[in-house]
Structures are given as C-alpha cells and as structure tokens.
Amino acid sequence: MSKVMIVTGASRGIGAAIARRAAKEGYAVAVNYVSSKADADKVVAEITGAGGKAVAIQADVSKEADVIRLFKETDEKLGRVDALINNAGIVVRMCRADSMTAEILEKIFAANVFSVFYCTREALKRMSTKNGGKGGAIIQMSSAAARHGGLPEESHYAASKGALDSMVAALAREVGTEGVRVIGVRPGLITTEIHNAHGGQALLDKAGPTVPIGRAGRPEEVAEVVVWLTTDAASYIHGTMIDVSGGR
C-alpha cells in the first residue's frame, strides 16, 4: 500500500512541485487547495497520468473545521497520513509596521501559523505511536525571511515564518520519541506567484542576481529536498531547519 502525503497549498508553486515529486517517490498525495480548483485538478491529472495516485481536496486550512474535514476526506480516499507538508502560506500585502492593521495580522497568522497548528494536530492524532499510529514526518515550510527579515514592508510575513522555526524546535522535543520526525524547510527567493504581492517577475529579475548563487531558485529544487526529508534516507534528521536559499 502506498504511503500517504498531504500537501497544503498544493495547487501551484512549491506545493504543486512537492506533490508531483512525492508521487514519483510512491506517495498517494492529497493535493489541498483553497479556491484554485482547476490548478489542483491539473496537478492531480499530471500525477495520475504518470501512473501515480492523487486527489484534490478543497479546504481553507486557516479554518479549523476545514482542516478536520481535509484529514477526514484524506482518510476516506487515500488512507491515514504518513507525511504532512504544511506548505500553505500568504503575504496578504506589503505594509510597514507603523501602518499595520488588525485585519492584515489576523489573516496572515491564521493562514501561516494557525493553519500549521491545526494540521499538525490532526496529523499527530494519526501518526504518533502514543495515539496508536505508526509514525511519520511533518515538514513545516518556513522561509529564509524568518532569518533575515525578508523583503521591505513584510515584517508581518517574516514574523509568521519565525513562529514556525520556534514550533519546529519545540514540537520535535514533544513527539520525537513517538515515531514522528519534525523538520523545518526555509526556501529563499523562489520563482513562484507569491511574489506577485511585491513586484512579481520584475522583483525576481532584480533580486535574483543578488543571491550568492546568482539566481532565484525553482520550486522543483525545494521539492527535491522536502520529499527526501520524509524518506528513510533522512531518518536521523529531526528538530532542525534546512535552508534551500542559494546561500542567501
């Protein structure tokens, strides 16, 4: 029987690349999306067309009830989860700290932090040996912005990702003896649509050459690392952060 992976925010960008790479590794993949059904269906079609197994499941992971439903549907359609990739995340919009609003903060922390706690909770109910599970891996998708502060006027985004770095360290101590490995991945400047909030391709063209490796990264480069971390080849990697940032 195939192992099962849930990838949140998997209709495009890094999430879609992770879903496709995981299917090649033999995972049955739950491709989560909020509103981009056509994009999610396309990812599923690519996976099934190549002989893999995947289903698209709509859920707004910033909402607790939707997360509960996401995991229930995954149980029913694919089986109990073995790997969770908490990839969903947003910027909302650029905003200086002295203009920050409660609405912006509520949206970004709900999407980038609360969602991770909701999904992690449901995964642990199924993975942890303490709860009768067989173990598994949870990858929290942080950002290099958690280290260097990110782009101008995005302190809210950097702070939300910094919360995940702290969570990785704490959660690893909680569940490490229960068969669950917890790792954080910090992508750097990656060519995805999230940058549309602050300049899109123009920003990537300008900032790419400033990265020590000389360019922006590709979603597939992040996916290779993420999926490898869920495999037995990475069995002693736990409670740490892995940078995929081209040296930035």
> Looking at the annotation, which residues are catalytic?
157
User: Are 123 and 117 spatial neighbours (Cβ–Cβ below 8 Å)?
Assistant: no
Radius of gyration in angstroms for the set of CA atoms belonging to the chain, rounded to a whole number? 17
d(C-alpha 214, C-alpha 216), whole Å:
7
| 189-193 own/partner pairs: CB under 8 Å, 24+ apart | 189/144, 189/216, 189/217, 189/245, 189/246, 189/248, 190/13, 190/14, 190/216, 190/217, 190/218, 190/219, 190/221, 190/222, 191/216, 191/217, 191/218, 191/219, 192/12, 192/13, 192/14, 192/219, 193/12, 193/13
Question: How far is CA 124 from each of CA 62, 135, 136, rounded to the nearest angstrom?
Answer: 18, 9, 9
Mark 80-97 as b/e (b = at least 16 C-beta within 10 Å): bbbbbbbbbbbbbebbee
The separation between CA 94 and the C-alpha centre of its own chain, rounded to angstroms, equals 21
d(C-alpha 207, C-alpha 77), whole Å:
42
